[in-house]
């Protein structure tokens, strides 16, 4: 039952799974305060979530849970998958909010996640074949940075990273390029906050980019400040398939916002924070995995073709 209906479901793109939340602290074999903001991928025929699990100190680690169908029968790994390293300058306390993408050239998964050093949050990279053992590359760019994901392949010879630096207090989404996954440059702003809109305060990447014939679907979260709190909702842009630094379309409205009880009430109320998507093109299905109120993991599904139609009907951007 919706706690309160505040969202006008005009386009009804997404349908929430009626068994939400699909993962919560009680599912963990040891005490956890919150399980949220998971990366998602299809691995060996199963849906794999790399979830952020926060302990009672308030420290987060990343832990794998697998399901045969993406909704039920989750198997939680007994050991943490990726943890902070107390001896590291850059990954000292906590690891948060991972995204995962399969790199075609390396034939490995790239996991980008938020780590912390004294100067603030920054984005780190780890590469893995099996989401079990990792080659850690460390921080990619200086603090303050969050919400990052690589594209699965190079463009004009260079890898591309979407991320969300904070510059002079402003939080816009940017794109940076690298020849080797280590040295990053040609930084450019990609998705700005919009004055007066639902995404006026902050924006940040949501899940990994989804490739379609029409271009890259990039879901992002937008934040509005109210007198009571900050509302985290979901928007969508379309990026050019060959030049992802070119934004073609942007949704005017949000397409998913906090509505049900688990999305409205938790450690941070009124937050939907998608960080992972699993697409089944043959079934025309997109599963969107998101943190609900910084406390649990939920899933909503959409028809991929309807999402593409929706963004193609959104305002065209002129450069």
Binding site for ligand BMA (CB under 6 A): 37, 96-97, 232, 268, 271, 273, 291, 294
Beta carbon of residue 292, minimum distance to ligand BMA (angstroms, whole number):
10
Sign of CA dihedral 161, 165, 167, 169: positive
State the nearest-atom distance from the C-beta of 297 to ligand BMA, in Å.
12
Enumerate residues 6+ apart whose C-beta is below 8 A from 279: 210, 285, 286, 287, 304
Phi, psi dihedrals of residue 200, rounded to the nearest 5°: -80, -25
CB of 70 to ligand BMA, least distance (A): 21
Rounded Cα–Cα distance for residues 218 and 226 (Å): 26
Q: How far is the CB of 247 from ligand BMA (least distance, A)?
A: 22
**Cβ-based nearer residue to ligand BMA, 238 or 271:** 271
| Minimum CB distance to ligand BMA, residue 127 (Å) | 23
Question: Are residues 290 and 51 in contact, defined by beta-carbon separation less than 8 angstroms?
Answer: no
| Distance set, CA 158 to CA 142, 145, 155, 258, 298 (Å) | 20, 21, 5, 37, 34
Residue 70 or 291: which CB sits closer to ligand BMA? Answer: 291
Judged by CB, which is closer to ligand BMA: 60, or 314? 60
- CA-CA distance, 255 to 14, in Å (whole number)? 8
Query: What's the CA gap between 61 and 43, in Å, rounded?
Result: 20
Residue at shortest CB range from ligand BMA: 268
Angle CA 156–216–214, to nearest 5:
105
Closer CB to ligand BMA, 184 or 273, in the complex: 273
Question: Please, which residue, 116 or 159, has the CB nearer to ligand BMA?
Answer: 116
Q: How far is the CB of 298 from ligand BMA (least distance, A)?
A: 13
Least Å from the CB of residue 179 to ligand BMA: 30
165 vs 291 by CB, closer to ligand BMA: 291
Radius of gyration of the chain (CA): 18
**Pick from 213, 245, 181, 229: nearest CA to 311:** 213
CA distances from 97 to 71, 131, 176, 194, 312 (A): 20, 15, 19, 24, 29
Q: Report the residue number, 48 or 95, with the smaller CB distance to ligand BMA.
A: 95
Nearer to ligand BMA, 16 or 233 (CB): 233
- Tell me how far, at minimum, the Cβ of 317 lies from ligand BMA, in Å: 26
Q: What is the rounded CA–CA span in Å between residue 246 and residue 312?
A: 15
């Amino acid at each position: 039952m919706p706690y309160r209906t505040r969202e006008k479901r005009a386009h009804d793109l997404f349908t929430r799974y009626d068994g939400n939340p699909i993962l919560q602290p009680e599912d963990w074999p040891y005490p956890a305060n919150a399980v949220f903001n998971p990366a998602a991928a299809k691995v060996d025929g199963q849906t794999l979530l790399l979830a952020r699990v926060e302990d009672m100190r308030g420290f987060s680690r990343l832990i794998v849970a697998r399901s045969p169908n993406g909704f039920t029968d989750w198997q939680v790994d007994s050991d943490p998958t990726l943890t902070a390293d107390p001896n590291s300058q850059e990954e000292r306390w906590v690891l948060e909010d991972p995204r995962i993408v399969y790199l075609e050239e390396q034939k490995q998964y790239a996991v980008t996640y938020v780590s912390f050093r004294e100067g603030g949050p920054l984005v780190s990279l780890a590469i893995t074949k099996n989401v079990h053992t990792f080659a850690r590359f460390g921080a990619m760019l200086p603090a303050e940075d969050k919400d990052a994901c690589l594209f699965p392949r190079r463009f004009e010879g260079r890898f591309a990273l979407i991320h969300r630096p904070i510059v002079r207090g402003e939080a816009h989404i940017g794109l940076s390029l690298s020849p080797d996954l280590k040295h990053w440059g040609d930084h450019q702003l990609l998705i700005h906050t919009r004055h007066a809109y639902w995404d006026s305060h902050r924006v940040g990447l949501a899940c990994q980019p989804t490739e379609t014939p029409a271009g890259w679907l990039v879901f992002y979260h937008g934040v509005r400040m109210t007198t009571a709190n900050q509302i985290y909702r979901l928007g969508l842009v379309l990026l050019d398939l060959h030049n992802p630094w070119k934004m073609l379309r942007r949704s005017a409205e949000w397409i998913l916002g906090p509505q049900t009880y688990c999305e409205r009430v938790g450690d941070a109320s009124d937050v939907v924070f998608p960080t992972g998507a699993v697409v089944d093109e043959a079934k025309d299905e997109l599963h969107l995995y998101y943190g609900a109120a910084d406390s649990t993991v939920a899933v909503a599904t959409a028809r991929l073709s309807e999402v593409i139609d929706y963004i193609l009907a959104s305002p065209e951007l002129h450069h």
